[in-house]
Amino acid sequence: MTDYRNFKIDTDKDGIALITWDMPDKSMNVFNEEVLVELDKIVDQLVADDAVKGVVFTSGKSSFSGGADLTMITGMFSTVKAETARNPDTAQQVIFDLVGKMSWLWRKIETCGKPWVSAINGTCMGGAFELSLACHGRVAADAPSVKMALPEVKVGIFPGAGGTQRVPRLTNAQDALQMMTTGQNLDPKRAKAMGLIHEVAEPKKLIPTAKAMIKNGLKPVQPWDEKGFKAPGGPVWSAQGAQLWPAASAILRRETQGNYPAAAAILKCVFEGLQVPFETGLKIEQRYFTHILQTPQARAMIRSLFISLQELNKGARRPEGIKPVKLKKVGVVGAGFMGAGIAYVTAKAGIPVVLIDKDMDAANKGKAHSESIVQKGVQRGKTTKEAGEKLLSLITPSSDYADLSDADLVIEAVFEDREVKKTVTEAIEAHIKPSAIFASNTSTLPITGLAKNSRRPKNFIGIHFFSPVDKMMLTEIILGRKTSDKALAVALDYVAAIKKTPIVVNDTRGFFVNRCVLRYMNESYNMLIEGVPPAMIENSAKMAGMPVGPLSLNDEVAIDLSLKIIRAAIADMGEKAVDPRHLELVERMVETEGRLGRKNGKGFYDYPAKPGKKHLWPELKTLYDQQDASKIDVQELKNRFLATIALEAARTMEEGIVTDPREADIGTILGFGFAPHTGGALSYIDEMGAAEFVAMCKSLQRKYGKQFKAPKLLVEMAEKGETFYGRFGSSESAATRAAA
């Protein structure tokens, strides 16, 4: 048989060919042009070989496949851009043919006349799961590592290799829509219950089970290719369909606010596809994918949430020439909510951690936080009792700073007060080894100032975690003026170990994410003071694509913390640093009304005891004279929220706080959920165009104030027709530039 670079083929005495996908020099199998070409040849070869009675397709790696390769994705965008520029009249056909390559190869497999079985031995995502669905039989290993999903909607596209047609023909349409519009992971048990796989086998019996399906007479014909096939969810035009489709459309609108065309395309593909023969359904899917691939949402989301995210996670900002550091022990000082969370994620990564506080009661209370998370994980089947016990054994509570003597990295997570941090820093440095890296988990205090308390400022760095630590995926790494490349490398190695996404920022008050968040909340204060109805403020923010309204977010952060931040800004920078109306509003909420936020059950919202739902504080609308809601421009409210955040992100680029647009975009999305459909705050500007964005801001500035004044950098970019990814592209990879 022909030798292939990415596949190995072994045919047994029963005539069953085992295709093992094992790409050299790759930790995970992915689809690229070479893989598709080889697979096409393999199909022809096995069909022509009379000795082959059936095929089992599996992976030679611990995971099955993560889907498409970066080069394949960026190649599509390059083709779209080039063909549209070259010949707009024929571009659509070229793009249509391009996006159908994988889909029609999968169709070739399922109509080849010989039974194929997919033996899924690990993570199976996107196009790989669509390939599995095209096989006549599917077996998954019964292991926690096995996850199946069609997650494309999370990066602005949708399952375009037959997923929208096969899934609703294997399971009911409601479950199919839920799976594809959320991109949810399925474990083997759930996938089998939905009818998406046929068998679940012990890992060692995966291949024998797959082969047994063929020996037992597996038909090489898909259900939808048989005469009289009926979809499990029933016809679209039926009583059942009449209940599903109007509700599905309404739910999608509620959840996405119309900001995600790919999610809407999924509904259209399924709705239209179930009314026509299967191959016509594939063409419908291909048509919608051609359209979605050309939307700004797809461009921006793939660049930020797929390409840039992977690059940052793989150490794009790690200094060159410094060997990777494997941490043997980490110290966490401060066993409060943040410190306890840091200790948990450290132990979860398999790193021993000593958790220190002023006394053993406080330290033990910090470890109890991890015990609570583990207990819930065991109850929900997310982990095993044994794995939980192993994790907890790595956390050592202590009140003795001497236990930090052999730590490679120490993270200070004490109260946000300069004097407290000074005292703790001195106590830590009296015991740690000279090579240890010291990190402060501070959310606003400049690292350079805190480093003055250190005897080794080169080893001093900021690692800003977000709450709750076990759920938030972003970390902000802050460089002080004297922070060394070694300290940065160790911080990045640590963040990689705990599986968080890092952004690296230079030192300033509030760093990057909090500066942007504060602008978001401040604009809601402005709107309240103007008399915009509170419900309208919250709803317009969510319509703009924010996951929660600014008033709700302020409650989560705590309104009394907002008051501390305002007063600290006045103390450090003078009274002109803040809007006096904001101080008056927040002082009234905290000191007059006693409304601190969710933590005391009352803030901008009221939080009744369960099962009651939170609701806006009724008296909030009485604080200021209310405008007539019917005369308020909702689009302008949306623009104000997005623009005020994007302007602050642009200012940080101008000031050199953030130097890489990838980090600004990822930071705003993962840090506080900035409208993911835009690709992030800077992508929002780039997609609109700097000139149009500046013009919009000038209009907003005339009506609402100086917070909308565009910085000189943006004005210059508008005049030159530049983008952030073009102007600051030196730090990008070739793949990112291609996608842009």
The enclosing H or E element of 322 equals: none
Catalytic residue among 136, 198, 369, 464: 464
Span between the terminal Cα atoms of the chain, in Å: 42
Secondary structure percentages of the chain, helix, strand, coil, to 5: 55, 10, 35
Peptide bond into 611 cis (omega under 30): yes
Residue 363 burial (10 A CB sphere; 0-12, 13-18, 19+) = buried
Alpha helical stretches, state H, 49-139: 70-86, 88-99, 101-110, 127-134
Q: What are phi and psi of 10, to 5 degrees?
A: -125, 125
**CA angle in degrees (0–180, nearest 5) for 414-435-391:** 55
Peptide bond into 618 cis (omega under 30): no
Tokens of 311: 């690059």
Measure the CA dihedral 205/206/207/210, to 10°. 110
Residue found by looking up tokens 């003071």 in the block: 529
198 is catalytic: no
User: Residue 613 gets which letter from DSSP?
Assistant: P
Closest CA to 474 of 261, 664, 656, 654: 664
Closest CA to 166 of 119, 237, 242, 223: 223
Closest CA to 403 of 332, 345, 487: 332
Partnered with residue 54 across adjacent β-strands are 16
- Distance, CA of 241 to CA of 219 (rounded, Å): 30
CB 716 within 8 A of CB 726: no
CB 677 within 8 A of CB 156: yes
**CA angle in degrees (0–180, nearest 5) for 675-680-682:** 130
Q: What residues contact residue 288 under an 8 Å CB cut-off, 6+ apart?
A: 158, 160, 265, 268, 269
Residue 724 burial (10 A CB sphere; 0-12, 13-18, 19+) = buried
* Residues acting as catalytic residues: 464
